[in-house]
């Protein structure tokens, strides 16, 4: 697997350049407030958000496979970072920015190892109900966590009960000016998100200009509130401000690797890698499909891993492919990863020249930006849709939401994954099977409980509809025992295996046991419609030799031989099955 | 679920009585040395082995469903008891007999809870390779652990490396008289097991008497070595003896339930319950099948749970249904659980009157009894059989053996279960699927890579051979994307679902995504041969309405409609697939 190092450079032309440059300008404007806001969400100094959006973008451009994915801090990974870093800081192992660097390095290493070992399939074990429940719950947690900034009170908390209790306890401390400014910014952002574009179009602006202005709204909110804070004078009447941001670019440096720190952060790093990977891949494949491109999941792991390593060495924190920024990038016409490189340049300029301006930025403005962004993640109606379709999936989703809200992000996602796996395994412990009979006049055999079919009294035909493995093998033994008990006239049992793709050692032992027991009761045991690869494997064992009956290619062949029409003279060959 | 309290009493007659009495005598004779030996193996005073064989037998007779299962201490559960109790004793939480009582109570409670919640299916997750590897490794561990008794040296250890290292360190302390006696007993037991019966038959004894004598051999060894020890005089020349056994019956009493003790023993209790249940159920169902009876797994849980609770209250330790004793019981002609009740009476008499005799029993004799019994559990050739059949099962089995030998019984079985589940899940992440074509002249559709079939150029028929769920859904998306890429003439994709028993929410989302992507490429997406229950569920969603194509009852119907013979005039309708 060669890294697609700047694969997009080949054939790069003037048209690509101008498209990418335009997209980069739009993305840069959007990323400045977002980067600051997500750094605050992760509990880190605001400049780390800008740093995390520069070099990781370049690293992904070298190793990633998507052409339009925009890498940087995203809401859920920032929340997970905050929740992973907090206990480490509390235990005195490191300060928050240092712990975030180690976390990014570990997460990058986990992604690269998964990529090298082609373990991308592990992400498949995060089922959609679990992911969707986790995203909804994280959105609610993030929104609740921003309330204190919007109200100008202190407090904290990692879970919904903690956050709400902390807010209630400080309800008397609400800072009126902060609240007024928060409501103004929230109203402005909400209107610009839902209405501004239509108004500007009505006002006669070109669609492209209208869209660009609507997207620039957060920047306007930032500029407006900075201006307001400056007008309020030094101290800004108690408004919480971002404070001085060190000017200049991040100094590259090694993240701390104390063993205790690494051990404490490793589980969270693995979860962050998985969640970040799933989020990034689903964004990337949606966008790729729209543009008739394809992405390579294992290559994506390498790209994301490189981006996180880059973040770890340049004072950032864990990053991944973001939905909003990637969509904006694609919509703005980005054609290659050059757009990402240009956006990185834009953010570098911002870091160099705009930071003095940002010292007076009210924190409430950033909180409002986050709140508006994450509320679009909350999808509670999905609960009702999933409930209607599958009770098991609903249980997994609801559990993920409740545990995430009540106990935090890590217990939430691990409980969700464990529960969905358990439910799946539990459902597979009973193999689907059906007693079948012949549809009269055809060679088709169908479930006697659902179709009008004929059966032969001396022959029991049992169709198995799943691969046989250790968890469902014993149920097959029981099923055969129950079906053959109390049928003295029974001479043959035929197991029809059209849907059996695998028979593992445990299931083979069960088949041997069934064969032994039926033989003791003078009943012959046959198989029919065994798939080629399964038969090849069975032939390597003693089972086929010990089998009291035969293996038939088609079930009809089995019935013709075991219940020949000649018998029809002696006994009523075919009896009608249930309708 | 009503307990089958002495269900066997109804219709009990004289013939049953004499058969059961005879079986009880034979089993009692066999159980005396076995009970003492397994108590020693569990690291407990020898009398606890006798106690554990009395009341638990009665409790099982009340609640269990097997008529011939004999309950009591067994080798593997005794080993697991020793390994669970040792750390608790070391931590000073309780002495060994008290901890064993708590362990039995917890294990009984776990079994009863599993029975009430009908969780017997959990035992299915112990696959046969894991169980078989675990039994082999436990047999080796037990055998190695007996060597120090056979050599008359001290030492200990819970894992094979520890045991061997401890033996090597004490090689100079080997007690010659103990070694001689050990070899004599081993030789005698081995001969009586393999040859004695044949010799007695040659000597003119009746087959029943010959078998009974052969089975009484361990009792002869015990009597012989007690005599030898007495002849050696007080101190028995340094031979390690069993020592004084308190006479009389166990005094019923509550096991200790200190929270720290319960917490420390709970995980081991759960594992012991599961392993004991699997061992017991497999013995019981083998014997039941032989006598055309059936056992109820959930009822078995209640019976075993009651037996363990009984053991906890009468100075015993964890028990389960033993293979050897149950087979002997069945062979000796036991017809009902009355045989168990009579054997309990026999053991009570032994406990009352034979214990003074047993004080002079050399420990080496018990060790030899254990060694001969457990070596029959070791089945290393199974490794080769499993290797030939399935590499994955082999990996699970070998890992279970190595981890059990190297790290002990609990890590061994948990690693085995986790690995076998992981391997199973990993295999199911790629759904079996095949592009199919029409077998000329029939309505059958087969894999184009395995059969000579014809296909229609504008139609892609993909058969899925497994239920679709979250771990394999994304692979289906990828498969369709790969198959449709670069086929500009493609107009229809038909997903043939004859083996799809379930489509979970994640897989439904994947199908929606496939539909969306194909629609964007102007390809219609159809389904065929969807099973009734799956279709019922799909109809509750928006998917069927959004589907760009149709749902066909049979795949042939789909092909007839999408690739009608009339098209054959304009284009070569059927192309030959690969052979």
Averaged over successive runs of 10 residues, the pLDDT of chain A (579 residues) comes to 58 82 84 88 91 91 84 91 92 92 96 90 85 90 90 84 90 89 92 84 82 79 90 81 82 88 93 91 77 76 94 94 82 82 90 85 88 86 90 93 92 91 85 88 84 88 90 87 85 92 90 90 92 88 92 90 61 40
Interchain pair B128, A506: CB under 8 A: yes
Interchain pair B125, A470: CB under 8 A: yes
What is the chain B residue with the closest CA to A296? Answer: B478
pLDDT at B116: 92
Compute the nearest-CA separation of A521 from chain B (Å).
8
Statement: residue B476 has pLDDT above 60: yes
CA angle, residues B2, B122, A413, in degrees to nearest 5:
125
Residue to substitute from B65, B114, B124, interface A, most A β-carbons within 10 A: B124
> What residues contact residue B265 under an 8 Å CB cut-off, 6+ apart?
B84, B88, B99, B102, B103, B106
Q: Which of A425, A466, A481 sits opposite B294 (nearest CB)?
A: A481
Segments of B236-371 assigned E as strands: 320-321
Residue to substitute from A118, A121, A122, A124, interface B, most B β-carbons within 10 A: A124
* Pair B421, B125: CB distance under 8 Å: yes
- Chain A residues within an 8 Å CB radius of B427: 502
| Mean of per-residue pLDDT scores for chain B | 86
Residue to substitute from B120, B128, B287, interface A, most A β-carbons within 10 A: B128
Using CA atoms, how far residue A481 sits from A521, B128, B336, in Å, is 11, 20, 22
Give the position of tokens 């209405």.
A195
Compute the nearest-CA separation of B248 from chain A (Å).
44
Band of residue B8 on the pLDDT scale cut at 50, 70, 90: low
Residue B8, both tokens? 């066997």
Residue to substitute from A422, A504, A510, interface B, most B β-carbons within 10 A: A504
* Pair A277, A65: CB distance under 8 Å: no
pLDDT at B334: 82
Question: What sign does the CA torsion over B254, B260, B265, B269 have?
Answer: positive
Rounded CA-CA distance B377/A120 in Å is 41
Give the position of tokens 């013939």.
B15
Low-confidence winner among A349-353, A365-369, B235-239, B573-577 (lowest mean pLDDT): B573-577
Statement: residue B577 has pLDDT above 50: no
**DSSP 8-class letter at B359:** T
- Chain A residues within an 8 Å CB radius of B436: none
Rounded CA-CA distance B293/B278 in Å is 18
pLDDT at A575: 44
pLDDT at A370: 85
Give the position of tokens 């004929």.
A454
Compute the nearest-CA separation of A40 from chain B (Å).
33
B209 dihedral zone (left: phi>0; alpha: psi -120 to 50; beta): alpha
Residue A396, both tokens? 């997994």
pLDDT at B4: 57
Give burial (CB, 10 Å; 0-12/13-18/19+) of B280.
buried
SS3 content of chain A, % helix, strand, coil (to 5): 65, 5, 30
Statement: residue B462 has pLDDT above 80: yes
* Pair B283, B135: CB distance under 8 Å: no
Compute the nearest-CA separation of B125 from chain A (Å).
5
Rounded CA-CA distance A302/A288 in Å is 18
Rounded CA-CA distance A553/A527 in Å is 9
Chain A to chain B Cβ contacts (< 8 Å): 139
**DSSP 8-class letter at B437:** E
Residue A261, both tokens? 């720190």
In percent, the amount of chain B with pLDDT more than 70 equals 95
Interchain pair A386, B475: CB under 8 A: no
B66-117 tens-digit pLDDT:
888 889 999 899 999 999 999 999 999 999 999 999 999 999 999 999 999 8
> What residues contact residue A560 under an 8 Å CB cut-off, 6+ apart?
none
* Pair B559, B456: CB distance under 8 Å: yes
Q: Which among B530, B555, B560, B557 is positioned nearest to B544, based on CA atoms?
A: B530
ipTM value, please give it: 0.79
Cα B322 versus chain centre, distance: 13
pLDDT at A291: 67
Residue B70, both tokens? 């004999």
For every residue of B1-13, DSSP letters joined together read ----TTGGGTT--
Compute the nearest-CA separation of B470 from chain A (Å).
5
Compute the nearest-CA separation of A537 from chain B (Å).
7
Interchain pair B505, A386: CB under 8 A: yes
* Pair A30, A218: CB distance under 8 Å: yes
Low-confidence winner among A138-142, B2-6, B475-479 (lowest mean pLDDT): B2-6
Interchain pair B127, A532: CB under 8 A: no
With 0.90 as the threshold, say if the pTM is over it.
Answer: no
Interchain pair B292, A521: CB under 8 A: yes
**DSSP 8-class letter at B196:** I
B299-342 tens-digit pLDDT:
889 999 999 999 999 999 999 988 778 888 887 778 888 888 89
**DSSP 8-class letter at B195:** I
> What residues contact residue A142 under an 8 Å CB cut-off, 6+ apart?
A41, A75, A76, A79, A370, A371, A374
Q: Which among A303, A366, A262 is positioned nearest to A50, based on CA atoms?
A: A366
Band of residue B291 on the pLDDT scale cut at 50, 70, 90: low
Residue B296, both tokens? 């109820």
What is the chain B residue with the closest CA to A509? Answer: B128
- Chain A residues within an 8 Å CB radius of B390: 504-505, 537
- Chain B residues within an 8 Å CB radius of A416: none
Q: Which of A393, A502, A541 sits opposite B427 (nearest CB)?
A: A502
Q: Give the residue range(s) of CATH 3.30.750.24 domains in chain B.
A: 433-576
Band of residue B243 on the pLDDT scale cut at 50, 70, 90: confident
Q: Say how many residues make up chain B.
A: 579
Q: Say how many residues make up chain A.
A: 579
Compute the nearest-CA separation of B458 from chain A (Å).
20
pLDDT at A103: 96
Greatest extent of chain B over all pairs of C-alpha atoms, in Å: 108
Residue B513, both tokens? 């995504």
* Pair B48, B39: CB distance under 8 Å: yes
Rounded CA-CA distance A492/A494 in Å is 6
pLDDT at A8: 66
Q: Which among A421, A455, A555 is positioned nearest to A500, based on CA atoms?
A: A555
* Pair B269, B319: CB distance under 8 Å: no
pLDDT at A571: 35
Q: Which of A420, A506, A537 sits opposite B127 (nearest CB)?
A: A506
Cα B35 versus chain centre, distance: 22
How many CB atoms are closer than 10 A to CB B160? 19
- Chain A residues within an 8 Å CB radius of B425: 125, 421
Question: What sign does the CA torsion over B102, B108, B110, B113 have?
Answer: negative
Torsion of Cα atoms, A474 then A480 then A486 then A490, to 10° = -150
Q: Which of B127, B485, B499 sits opposite A470 (nearest CB)?
A: B127
Rounded CA-CA distance B163/A242 in Å is 64
Interchain pair A505, B388: CB under 8 A: no
What is the chain A residue with the closest CA to B474? Answer: A124
Cα B387 versus chain centre, distance: 19
Give the position of tokens 């929104």.
A143
Give the position of tokens 């049953």.
B16
State the average pLDDT over residues B353-363.
86
Q: What are phi and psi of B434, to 5 degrees?
A: -150, 140
Q: What pairing do the DSSP bridges indicate for beta strands A433-438 and A445-447?
A: antiparallel
Question: What sign does the CA torsion over B45, B140, B84, B77 have?
Answer: negative
Please say whether the structural domain A433-576 has been given the CATH code 3.30.750.24.
yes
Compute the nearest-CA separation of A280 from chain B (Å).
15
């Amino acid at each position: 697997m060669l890294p697609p190092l700047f694969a997009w450079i080949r054939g790069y032309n003037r048209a690509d350049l101008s498209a990418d440059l335009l997209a980069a300008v739009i993305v840069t404007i959007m990323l400045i407030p977002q980067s600051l806001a997500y750094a605050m969400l992760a509990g880190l100094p605001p400049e780390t958000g800008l740093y995390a959006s520069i070099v990781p973008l370049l690293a992904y451009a070298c190793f990633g496979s998507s052409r339009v994915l925009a890498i940087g801090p995203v809401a859920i990974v920032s929340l997970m970072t905050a929740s992973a870093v907090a206990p480490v800081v509390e235990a005195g192992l490191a300060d928050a920015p240092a712990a975030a660097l180690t976390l990014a390095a570990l997460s990058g290493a986990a992604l690269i190892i998964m990529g090298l070992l082609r373990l991308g399939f592990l992400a498949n074990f995060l089922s959609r109900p679990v992911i969707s429940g986790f995203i909804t719950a994280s959105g609610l947690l993030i929104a609740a966590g921003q309330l204190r900034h919007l109200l100008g009170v202190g407090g904290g908390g990692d879970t919904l009960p903690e956050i709400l209790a902390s807010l209630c306890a400080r309800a008397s401390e609400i800072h009126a000016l902060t609240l007024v400014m928060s409501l103004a910014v929230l109203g402005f952002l909400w209107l610009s998100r839902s209405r501004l574009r239509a108004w500007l179009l009505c006002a006669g602006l070109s669609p492209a200009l209208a869209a660009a202005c609507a997207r620039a709204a957060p920047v306007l909110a930032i500029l407006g509130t900075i201006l307001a804070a400056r007008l309020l004078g030094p101290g800004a009447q108690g408004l919480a401000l971002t404070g001085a941001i060190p000017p200049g670019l991040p100094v590259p440096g090694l993240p701390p690797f104390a063993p205790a720190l690494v051990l404490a952060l490793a589980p969270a790093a693995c979860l962050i890698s998985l969640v970040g990977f799933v989020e990034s891949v689903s964004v990337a494949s949606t966008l790729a499909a729209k543009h008739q491109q394809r992405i390579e999941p294992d290559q994506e792991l390498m790209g994301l891993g490189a981006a996180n390593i880059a973040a770890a060495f340049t004072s950032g924190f864990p990053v991944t492919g973001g939905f909003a920024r990637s969509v904006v990038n694609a919509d703005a016409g980005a054609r290659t990863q050059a757009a990402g490189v240009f956006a990185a340049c834009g953010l570098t300029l911002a870091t160099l020249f705009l930071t003095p301006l940002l010292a007076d930025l009210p924190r409430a403005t950033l909180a409002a930006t986050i709140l508006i962004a994450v509320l679009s993640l909350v999808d509670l109606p999905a609960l009702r849709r999933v409930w209607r379709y599958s009770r098991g999936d609903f249980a997994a989703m609801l559990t993920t939401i409740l545990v995430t809200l009540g106990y935090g992000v890590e217990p939430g996602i691990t409980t969700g994954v464990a529960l969905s796996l358990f439910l799946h395994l539990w459902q597979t412990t009973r193999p689907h099977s059906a007693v079948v009979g012949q549809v009269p006049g055809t060679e088709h055999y169908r479930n006697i409980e659902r179709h009008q079919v004929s059966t032969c009294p001396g022959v029991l035909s049992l169709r198995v509809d799943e691969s046989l493995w250790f968890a469902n093998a014993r149920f097959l033994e029981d099923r055969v025992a129950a079906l053959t008990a109390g049928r003295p006239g029974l001479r043959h049992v035929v197991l029809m295996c059209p849907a059996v793709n695998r028979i593992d050692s445990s299931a083979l032992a069960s088949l041997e046991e069934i064969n032994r027991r039926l033989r003791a009761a003078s009943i012959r045991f046959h198989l029919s419609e065994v798939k080629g690869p399964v038969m090849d494997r069975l032939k390597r064992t003693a089972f086929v030799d010990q089998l009291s009956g035969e293996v038939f290619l088609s079930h009809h062949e089995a019935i013709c031989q075991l219940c020949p029409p000649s018998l029809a003279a002696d006994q009523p060959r075919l009896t009608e099955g249930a309708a």
